[in-house]
Structure 1
Amino acid sequence: MNIKDLYYFQRLISTQSYTQTAADFHVSQPTISQAIKRLERHFQTTLFFRQAKTKALVLTPSGQQLLLASNDIISNWQHVNESIGHLRQHTLRLGVEPAVGEHYLPALTKPIIAQDLLSSVHTVEMGANQLVKQVLGGQLDLAISGNLDQTLDERLAVTPLRPFKFKILASPRHPLAQVEHPTFKEALKSPFVILNATYLNKLVFHQLAEQLSIEPQVLFESDNSTLISGLVRENLALGFISDIATPPDDDLIEIPIEDVQVPSVHINLIRRAHQFPIGLFKQIMDIVEQTFNDDAAQVKD
């Protein structure tokens, strides 16, 4: 069986026209007909029939199964071609979530430079949801991203790097900073400044508020953690941050969240499940994992 036959079959069902399908692939109409016959001989079944009134091509159960499989096979085949192309060119596309990059990218870059790989690694920043989509779509080879554990796609291979922890950020002058054991419920009586939808912080923040059936007061959203720290420092609001986004100095109070169930969130190294970690791919994966291991060891010390 030729993979081109699956391309022809997929397009034929989409266009509902032998003529259009042949034109799309710049082949003759008999080429499309012969491809369908080969598929039906291979599977020993009829894949579709033409409806008498509308002339539409109607898939049989076998045809429906083959179409679903064809979509996956063609998608994987395209990814394999892209991956091998990048192997030939000795390049890798790495996506990094902004909060992760702000904290870890300098440490990641040092071994990449030391191993003379900087020109081979193309790094981009984008939000967690977009990173997952681009890895699945083949636009990225690897991504370092914070993810809610239950949202990860089964088509991804995931290496957990470290857990996220969330906390409240307050000015020492804020009333909450004077309470011995402040709760998240008490905190929600005050306005908050939070990171925007580019980060997981916003999703987690609203999930926690929903647990308490409280509509939070969000004064401001930003993609700049320094700006959020500044607004908190001026005692204009409380902040909601992860332990990755640290304030630039020590004049702010970090309050742990203990009275609500915080969703399980991890920084993960993600790739497509069928992507084999070899060559440059394996080198970058090793650098990422070692960087996070070194960081964890420093925190323990």
Structure 2
Amino acid sequence: MNIKDLYYFQRLISTQSYTQTAADFHVSQPTISQAIKRLERHFQVTLFFRQAKTKALVLTPSGQQLLLAANDIINNWQHVNESISHLRQHTLRFGIEPSVSEHYLPALTKPIIEQDLLNSVHTVEMGANQLVKQVLAGQLDLAISGNLDQTLDERLAVTPLRPFKFRILANPEHPLAKSEHPTFAEALKSPFVLLNATYLNKLVFRQLAEQLSIEPQVLFESDSSTLIKGLVKENLALGFISDITAPSDDKDDDLVEIPFDDVQVPSVHINLIRRAHQFPIGLVKQVIDIIEKTFAADNAEQKS
């Protein structure tokens, strides 16, 4: 069976026209007809029939199954071509989430330079959802992204690098900072300032509020953790932030961390993601090793 036959079949069902499909591929109409016949002979089924009134091509159950498989095969074939092209050119497209980049990119860049890979690794920053989409679409080879564990696609190969820890930040004079048994429900009586939708903090915050069926008061959203901490210092609101965007070695004496245990915090990790069918060889394997060693060293340092 020729993979071109699957391309012809996929396009024919999309265009509903032998003439248009032939024109799209710059071949004759009989070429498309012969491809369909080959597929039907191979599987010994009828793939579709033409509806009498509308002349539409209607897939049989076998045709529906083949179309789903054809979509996957064609997507994977395109990704394989792209991957081999990048291997031939010795290039790798690497995406990283901004909050992770701010904390880890300097440590990742050092071994990339030492191994003379800087000109081969093309790095871009974007939000977690966009990173996942671009990896799935084959536009990125690797990505480091913060993800809620249950939101990841089964078409991805996922390596957890480290968990997120979330906390409430408050001015020492805020009533919650003086409470003997502070709770998240109590905290939601006050306004909050949050990192915007580029970060997972907002999504996690919303999920925690939903557990308590409380509509939170969000005073302000920003992509700057420095601005968030500045507003908290002024005692204008509470902050909700992760240990990635506010590392433990960056303690601010003017702010206090408020513990809470009345809600179940969802499992969130920084993950290394790639397409499941992509084999970690060559440059991809080199960069994966650098990433895993960098995070392993950081995790060991945090525990010590």
- Rounded to whole Å, the distance in 2 between the matches of 1:138 and 1:120 is 17
Amino acid paired to 2:66? L
Partners of 1:158 and 1:269 within 8 A in 2: yes
**Residue 212 (str. 1) matches residue 215 (str. 2):** no
- Rounded to whole Å, the distance in 2 between the matches of 1:256 and 1:111 is 37
- 2:189 matched residue in structure 1: 189
- Rounded to whole Å, the distance in 2 between the matches of 1:129 and 1:201 is 13
- Rounded to whole Å, the distance in 2 between the matches of 1:44 and 1:52 is 24
- 2:17 matched residue in structure 1: 17
Q: Equivalent of 1:294, from 280, 292, 297?
A: 297
Alignment of 1:229-244 (within 5 A): 229-244=229-244
Q: Equivalent of 2:287, from 284, 288, 291?
A: 284
Alignment of 1:125-136 (within 5 A): 125-136=125-136
Amino acid paired to 1:142? L
TM-score normalised by length of structure 1? 0.98
- 2:264 matched residue in structure 1: 261
Deviation at 1:178, TM superposition (A): 1.8
- Rounded to whole Å, the distance in 2 between the matches of 1:164 and 1:48 is 50
The one-character-per-residue Cα deviations of 1:228-284 (angstroms, maximum 9, x if unpaired) are 111111111110001111175522112233221000111110010000000000011
- 1:166 matched residue in structure 2: 166
- Rounded to whole Å, the distance in 2 between the matches of 1:260 and 1:168 is 13
Amino acid paired to 2:296? N
Aligned residues: 301
The one-character-per-residue Cα deviations of 1:31-51 (angstroms, maximum 9, x if unpaired) are 111111111111111111111
Deviation at 1:291, TM superposition (A): 0.6
SS at match of 1:245: coil
SS at match of 2:197: coil
- Rounded to whole Å, the distance in 2 between the matches of 1:229 and 1:92 is 36
Q: Equivalent of 1:250, from 218, 227, 252?
A: 252
- 1:225 matched residue in structure 2: 225
- Rounded to whole Å, the distance in 2 between the matches of 1:205 and 1:86 is 39
- 1:137 matched residue in structure 2: 137
Query: Which sits farther off after the overlay, 274-283 or 230-239?
Result: 230-239
The one-character-per-residue Cα deviations of 1:209-239 (angstroms, maximum 9, x if unpaired) are 1111111110001111111111111111110
Partners of 1:166 and 1:256 within 8 A in 2: no
SS at match of 1:118: coil
- Rounded to whole Å, the distance in 1 between the matches of 2:180 and 2:89 is 58
Query: Which sits farther off after the overlay, 174-183 or 20-29?
Result: 174-183
SS at match of 1:240: strand
- 2:151 matched residue in structure 1: 151
Partners of 1:99 and 1:244 within 8 A in 2: yes
- Rounded to whole Å, the distance in 2 between the matches of 1:174 and 1:222 is 22
- Rounded to whole Å, the distance in 2 between the matches of 1:39 and 1:170 is 66
Deviation at 1:173, TM superposition (A): 2.3
SS at match of 2:241: strand
Deviation at 1:74, TM superposition (A): 0.4
Amino acid paired to 1:228? I
- 1:61 matched residue in structure 2: 61
Deviation at 1:153, TM superposition (A): 0.6
- Rounded to whole Å, the distance in 2 between the matches of 1:52 and 1:186 is 66
- 1:118 matched residue in structure 2: 118
Partners of 1:94 and 1:143 within 8 A in 2: yes
- Rounded to whole Å, the distance in 2 between the matches of 1:176 and 1:59 is 62
| Consecutive aligned runs of 4 or more in structure 1 exceeding 3 Å deviation | none
The one-character-per-residue Cα deviations of 1:168-191 (angstroms, maximum 9, x if unpaired) are 011222222222331111111111
- Rounded to whole Å, the distance in 2 between the matches of 1:11 and 1:236 is 58
Amino acid paired to 2:27? V
User: Structure 1 regions of 5+ residues with no counterpart?
Assistant: none
- Rounded to whole Å, the distance in 1 between the matches of 2:91 and 2:173 is 51
| RMSD (Å), alpha carbons | 1.1
- Rounded to whole Å, the distance in 2 between the matches of 1:147 and 1:3 is 35
149 and 59 in structure 1: CA distance in 2 versus 1, 3 angstrom threshold:
same
- Rounded to whole Å, the distance in 2 between the matches of 1:31 and 1:150 is 45
- 2:100 matched residue in structure 1: 100
